[in-house]
Structure 1
Amino acid sequence: MRFLVITLIVHRPDPVTGITPSARDRLREVVDSAVLAEELGFDGFGVGERHERPFISSSPPVVLSHLAARTSRIRLFTAVTTLSLLDPVRAYEDYATLDNLSDGRLELIIGKGNGTAQRELFNVTPEDQWDRNAESYELFRQIWRQDTITAQPRYRPALHEAEVWPRPYQQPIRVWHGSATSRESVDLAARYGDPLFSANVTNPIEPYAELVHYYRQRWAEYGHDPALAAVGAGTAGFHVAPRSQDAVAAYAPVFAGQLAFQRSMGMEPVFPTLEDFIERSSALIGSPQQIIDKVHRYHEQFGHSVLHLHAEAGGLPPAEHRASLELFQSEVAPALRRTIPDPPWPWAPVLPEAAVTAAAD
């Protein structure tokens, strides 16, 4: 099993202290989190894309390019790239550049995105968002693989023998499809033989498991080898401590702050108490053995081989969050790596043929 830490770069008051950092300081926290993740041995670091408050993750290629310069090994993920909002040609240019700058450490998780404000910002409607997502992905995929492209898309100007530069470092790039609530993203992933990443953060396991099962069904119906299907899954919260009582006590003020924030935004919490949150959500809060057991329970439903945790403290004292990540890597991750397989591909970058030949020489 492989482990990512991700951030959506939420920019709001700390749920415990009530202090809102500046945008500069919040982005610096993201950089520090990525450097720490590599230091501790995590396999990937992901940056979300949102175009509405309370997020400042509107430009993941810029953030990830900076992280590429500050790290050397860890794989860099988008979580997610909202292709329904983007011109696929411009998105390709950004990510092909990043792919070269990172020496092929980039992986994309794509999705149509959510949120009314960001959809309206880009003049995307609920009726056309799924078609836009599928069309943008098809064009993005073709541009990545072909030196020239001719296409007559609905949602951007036509392309005729167009060249788009720079050419990428990886050929092809691995693209995951983010899945939260609907079958469209799931079907798109299965159609192209791409891996699926379940959001798995807002609700209990049942709706997510249903989508994962649908993905495997459609994967087989599209004629792909069932052994090559791959699934990742998110977690709703994270804190591990040697004793479960200490983990729960430390997380209690964080959860209380998150609950108050949800209610201030007019949202009715799915999990109204901390006990319910720990029991019925995907949150990993407890002792190392409790975390291991819960991941295995989810694995029975998902068969997932990649798991993401929250990159940042989110209200915990930074030293306590670091200790939690260290404990995860020393006691939880080794046990899960031994018992849950990796994805069905090498984790190293997909090198271009020229680079492979040079390395062999």
Structure 2
Amino acid sequence: MQFGIFSVGDVTPDPTTGRTPTERERIKAMVAIALKAEEAGLDVFATGEHHNPPFVPSSPTTMLGYIAARTERLVLSTATTLITTSDPVKIAEDFAMLQHLADGRVDLMLGRGNTAPVYPWFGQDIRQGIPLAVENYALLHRLWREEGVDWEGKFRTPLEGFTATPRPLDGVPPFVWHGSIRSPEIAEQAAFYGDGFFHNNIFWPADHTRRMVELYRARYAHYGHGTPEQAVVGLGGQVFMRRNSQDAVREFRPYFDVAPVYGHGPSLEDFTAQTPLTVGTPQQVIEKTLAFREYAGDYQRQLFLVDHAGLPLKTVLEQIDLLGEEVVPVLRKEFAVGRPADVPDAPTHADRLARARGVRGERAPR
């Protein structure tokens, strides 16, 4: 099972000091967070893709390429690659290039994006979000697996005999997670292709997450990729930790209260009771995260949000140290207990290449 960090890359004033970091500071902070994640023994760093203030990560492959040059083991991913407003040809080329530069330590999470003004900036209509996601991924999937592609669809100009370059590393395309919070069509899409499904459940109660994951698992089996239990699932989470739970609540509350994504809404206590947000001790984070398996089954990837709402970089790095030293080692051990042998590990390039070459006979994520 993989554990890691994802960042949405927001530039938010620190409510305790009133200071807003510069864009350069925030970008550099995201790099520092990725480097700390590897140092702390985590497996994955993922960055969002946004093209509107107050966010900075408009070019994920640029950032991930830079991080690749400064890391050795970390899997580099996106927390969203906008399949609706980005050209599938450019996605195919950019991530294949990143694959080569990072020696295969690359995957990506596709998403529709939910910021309405962004769609027309790229010549699209948010009301066509689902059809765009379906059509664009159908093309992307072919571009990584075929040469001389002929294509005609509704949302882009036709292609005739087109070959995307460079080709995927070792002939193995990057693994794709389809990220969705509430769209069953995206769970269906992930299941149809035998890809991963990532449910970023940081805002949602357990029952909603359960329904989405169960739908994906059932449809994964329907399309003949394996049993429901063998479907490849990832989950989001959000934590803030201190040695004493009262200290954690007191310190995090001003950030929660003004956070752009949920500030001025439910109280911190209500939100932690109803969603996966955990504000407390490392042990409380362990207990709540282990409970995810009760409604999502055995899954492959757990990513934590630790760096938004104006939290200072020093505080964020402390959170990563706590994850690496006290939380993730216990989670690795406890999630392994009772895990059926036929449930696959999180997909990696090396493992998928070995399976593609027939070294191992078991089912391989495509």
Question: TM-score normalised to the size of structure 1?
Answer: 0.89
**Shift of residue 232 of structure 1?**
0.9
Q: Deviations over 1:55-74 (max 9, x none)?
A: 12211111111111121210
CA distance in 1, matches of 2:328, 2:113: 30
What is the one-letter code of the residue matched to 1:86? S
Which position in structure 1 is the counterpart of 2:241? 240
Which position in structure 2 is the counterpart of 1:122? 122
CA distance in 2, matches of 1:280, 1:346: 28
**Shift of residue 217 of structure 1?**
1.7
Which position in structure 1 is the counterpart of 2:321? 326
Query: Which stretch has the larger CA shift, 197-206 or 173-182?
Result: 197-206
Which position in structure 1 is the counterpart of 2:62? 62
CA distance in 1, matches of 2:211, 2:353: 39
CA distance in 2, matches of 1:294, 1:127: 36
| 1:20 aligns to 2:20 (yes or no) | yes
Note if contact 2:4-2:44 (Cα within 8 Å) is conserved in structure 1.
yes
Which position in structure 2 is the counterpart of 1:217? 218
CA distance in 1, matches of 2:217, 2:285: 26
Which position in structure 2 is the counterpart of 1:228? 230
The DSSP-based 3-state class of the residue aligned with 2:201 is coil
The DSSP-based 3-state class of the residue aligned with 2:117 is helix
Note if contact 2:187-2:216 (Cα within 8 Å) is conserved in structure 1.
yes
What is the one-letter code of the residue matched to 1:326? D
CA distance in 1, matches of 2:37, 2:107: 16
**Shift of residue 348 of structure 1?**
4.1
Note if contact 2:258-2:264 (Cα within 8 Å) is conserved in structure 1.
no
What is the one-letter code of the residue matched to 2:295? Q
CA distance in 1, matches of 2:286, 2:103: 33
CA distance in 2, matches of 1:110, 1:119: 15
1:353–1:49 CA distance, 2 compared to 1 (3 A): closer
Note if contact 1:278-1:284 (Cα within 8 Å) is conserved in structure 2.
yes
Q: Deviations over 1:278-304 (max 9, x none)?
A: 221211221222111111222211123
What is the one-letter code of the residue matched to 1:310? L
What is the one-letter code of the residue matched to 1:234? G
In the TM superposition, 1:177-216 aligns within 5 A as 177-216=178-217
| 1:286 aligns to 2:287 (yes or no) | no
CA distance in 1, matches of 2:196, 2:261: 31
1:187–1:348 CA distance, 2 compared to 1 (3 A): closer
**Shift of residue 19 of structure 1?**
1.5
The DSSP-based 3-state class of the residue aligned with 2:126 is coil
The DSSP-based 3-state class of the residue aligned with 1:63 is helix
**Shift of residue 268 of structure 1?**
6.2
CA distance in 2, matches of 1:210, 1:346: 22
**Shift of residue 41 of structure 1?**
0.9
Q: Deviations over 1:293-349 (max 9, x none)?
A: 111222211123311112526444444433332222222212211121487146542
Note if contact 1:183-1:211 (Cα within 8 Å) is conserved in structure 2.
yes
Which position in structure 1 is the counterpart of 2:364? none
Which position in structure 2 is the counterpart of 1:160? 160
Structure 1 runs of 4+ aligned residues shifted over 4 Å read: 351-354
CA distance in 2, matches of 1:68, 1:287: 32
Query: Structure 2 unaligned runs (5+)?
Result: 358-366
CA distance in 2, matches of 1:347, 1:242: 34
What is the one-letter code of the residue matched to 1:117? P
Question: TM-score normalised to the size of structure 2?
Answer: 0.88
Which position in structure 1 is the counterpart of 2:361? none
The alignment's C-alpha RMSD in Å is 2.3
What is the one-letter code of the residue matched to 2:320? L
CA distance in 1, matches of 2:346, 2:287: 26
Which position in structure 1 is the counterpart of 2:362? none
Q: Deviations over 1:233-285 (max 9, x none)?
A: 112x3112222222222212221232xx458xxx862xx21111222121122
CA distance in 1, matches of 2:261, 2:220: 36
Query: Structure 1 unaligned runs (5+)?
Result: none
**Shift of residue 213 of structure 1?**
1.3
Note if contact 2:307-2:316 (Cα within 8 Å) is conserved in structure 1.
yes
